Structure 1
Amino acid sequence: MTIVAVVAAVLLAAAALITSYRVLAGPSTLDRVVGIDSLMAIAASGLAVWAAYSDDTAVIPAIVAVAIVGFLGSAAVTRFRVRDDR
């Protein structure tokens, strides 16, 4: 299980690095929103890997909270961005 957790952590770290580049270099606001939403999904996945590795279920509410905050943040920015385009 340790090897699987290490491989998952390395892949998630690589994904976070690539996504961070997209957030920083994104030419538009919507590209940055997609990048931030992806970072939130990566963070939730990292917490899930940690929960599986440590056999600790106390992290599950944090995973749900990160997912909800990511969704609501993306929805709010998209809504206000569409409103400003009109």
Structure 2
Amino acid sequence: MTVLVVLIVSMLLVSALLAVWRLVTGPTVLNRTLASDLLISIVICALGVEAVVGEHSTTLPILVSLSLVGFVATVAVSRFVAGDTDAAAPPDKADEATFPSGFAEDRGVEDDGSSR
């Protein structure tokens, strides 16, 4: 068990160091966001390993909270970087936004059966 724990901790440490390196040297905001999300995931894994080794479940609320914070932060930064594309859509594309599948029956056009 001890050898396995040392192996897991060393793998998490190496991946955390690589994520910090990408966080510092990432050329774009999206690279840095991805690295911070990865770092949060590594912390979640480390807390999970600690819970398994310690045979307790007291860190479960922390794991859930960190997962939620990581997801919300990634979505927020992605939406910030992408900008507001809905307001920039031309008015004639409004039907496509309402019916994303593009099928005729989604637009209210009925099939006359001639294609069968």
Q: What TM-score results when the alignment is normalised by the length of structure 1?
A: 0.93
Alpha-carbon distance in structure 2 between the residues aligned to 1:35 and 1:82 = 18
1:23 maps onto 2:18 in alignment:
no
Structure 1: 4+ residue segments shifted above 6 A: none
Aligned residues: 86
Q: Which runs of 5+ in 1 are unaligned?
A: none
1:4 maps onto 2:4 in alignment:
yes
Q: What TM-score results when the alignment is normalised by the length of structure 2?
A: 0.70
Whichever structure has more helix as a proportion of its residues is 1
Residue in 1 that maps onto 2:42: 42
State the Cα RMSD in Å.
1.5
Q: Which runs of 5+ in 2 are unaligned?
A: 89-116
Pair member with larger Rg: 2
For CA contacts below 8 A with separation 6 or more, give which structure has more relative contact order: 1
1:84, distance to aligned residue in structure 2 (A) = 7.0
How big is each residue's C-alpha offset from its partner over 1:29-58, in whole Å with a ceiling of 9 and x where there is no partner?
A: 000000000001000000000000000110
Alpha-carbon distance in structure 1 between the residues aligned to 2:61 and 2:6 = 23
The 1:27–1:84 alpha-carbon spacing in structure 2 relative to 1, beyond 3 Å, is: farther
